[in-house]
Amino acid sequence: MLIFTTAAELRAYAEQARAAGRRLGLVPTMGALHEGHLQLVRAAAQACDEVIASVFVNPTQFNNPDDLRLYPRLPEQDAAALAPAGCTVLFMPTVSEVYPQPAVLRFDFGALEQVMEGAHRPGHFNGVATVVSKLFHLARPHVAYFGQKDFQQVAIVRQLIADLSFDLKLVVFPTVREVDGLAMSSRNARLSPAARAVAPLLYQVLQQAATQVRLGVPPAQVQQQALAALAQESAFIPEYIEVADAHSLQPITSYEAGRPVVLCVAAHLGGVRLIDNMVVE
Ligand code: AMP
């Protein structure tokens, strides 16, 4: 596995590999890798000749300085996990390498970013779109791999690819969970044992809400009951629970046949912000 820290190295390598007819897969990450990340890498390794994984804690997508400061950073461990998963190129740049000067360009995804993560984390998707665009330009992937764990991020990246005509295929992978249902996340490492013990409630609440959606319980009632269920565990501070259209991500007031619904939740637990989601077809 090659390790590049400069944009120039990655760009030159990717261009050469492309010219040689090799198929390139890109897996962007912020590191502190877990099985969710590694499944994306393995899938890329099966479908592509080169798997480029990036490990970069992107400051422009953090709206909370403490969250950025406390974000787990485990570069050696990440490098050791990536090679056996089939990664051929690891891109680990510094902040000044990715942002030699602050980006001035601002993205506006309209209604897509005015809900959920976009509404609660001002500037978050601008930072995501900036770094993802940079990575697409540098790594020149034929295929980019993202996780459904970040449901709204996938919608934003899909829009970015369409609007800027990025010539690549987006592959989305289902959320990988711990055995008790908690969605794997780098931030889980920051949970205290007590918080970790109650954390699966987030998934249970989503499951209960999904059952209610299937039974036709009105969205407002589903939302209310999910909030009440989460409130039973006082350690949780809910930020939002939304019942939304899975394509537009806009909250819904009723169900329409053939239109999938997505349930999205964000909550704080012992100072750690957790998100999860579930699609109901
Ligand atoms: P992150 O390092 O958290 O920015 O995530 C990097 C990529 O891995 C994103 O596309 C995430 O959606 C994806 N990812 C993170 N956690 C999971 C998970 N539990 N299951 C599947 N994909 C995930």
pLDDT tens track for 95-108:
999 999 999 999 99
Q: Please write the tens of the pLDDT for every residue from 199-250.
A: 999 999 999 999 999 999 999 999 999 999 999 999 999 999 999 999 999 9
Q: Say whether 137 is catalytic.
A: no
**Cα atoms in the Cβ-side hemisphere of radius 13 Å centred on 132:** 25
Average model confidence (pLDDT) for the chain?
Answer: 97
Confidence of residue 109 (pLDDT cuts 50, 70, 90): very high
pLDDT of residue 166: 98
CA of 216 to the centre of ligand 1 (A): 31
Confidence of residue 56 (pLDDT cuts 50, 70, 90): very high
DSSP secondary structure letters along 213-280: HHHT--HHHHHHHHHHHHHTSTTEEEEEEEEEETTT--B-SS--TT--EEEEEEEEETTEEEEEEEEE
Place of tokens 């540098």: 138
CA of 34 to the centre of ligand 1 (A): 9
CB count, 10 Å around CB of 19?
8
| Burial class (CB within 10 angstroms; exposed 0-12, middle 13-18, buried 19+) of 117 | buried
Both tokens of 83, joined, read 């090679």
Counts for the chain of helices (H) and strands (E), in that order? 11, 9
pLDDT of residue 26: 99
pLDDT of residue 255: 98
Each residue of 66-80: b (16+ CB within 10 Å) or e? eeeeebeeeeeebbe
Percent of the chain scored above 90 by pLDDT? 100
Q: 186-280: what fold?
A: Pantoate--beta-alanine Ligase; Chain: A,domain 2 (3.30.1300)
pLDDT of residue 22: 98
By the 8 A CB rule, do 118 and 109 touch? yes
Q: Ligand 1 atom 7: the closest Cα is on which residue?
A: 29
CA 250 to chain centre: 19
Among candidate residues 3, 26, 8, the one with its CA nearest the CA of residue 170? 26
Q: Please write the tens of the pLDDT for every residue from 132-159.
A: 999 999 999 999 999 999 999 999 999 9
Superfamily of domain 2-173 in CATH is HUPs (3.40.50.620)
Q: Ligand 1 atom 14: the closest Cα is on which residue?
A: 147
CA of 120 to the centre of ligand 1 (A): 19
Ligand 1 pocket at CB < 6 A = 29-30, 36-37, 40, 146-147, 149-150, 173, 175-176, 183-186
Residues of the chain with CATH 3.30.1300.10: 186-280
Confidence of residue 21 (pLDDT cuts 50, 70, 90): very high
What average pLDDT does this structure show over 46-66? 97
Residues of the chain with CATH 3.40.50.620: 2-173
Confidence of residue 121 (pLDDT cuts 50, 70, 90): very high
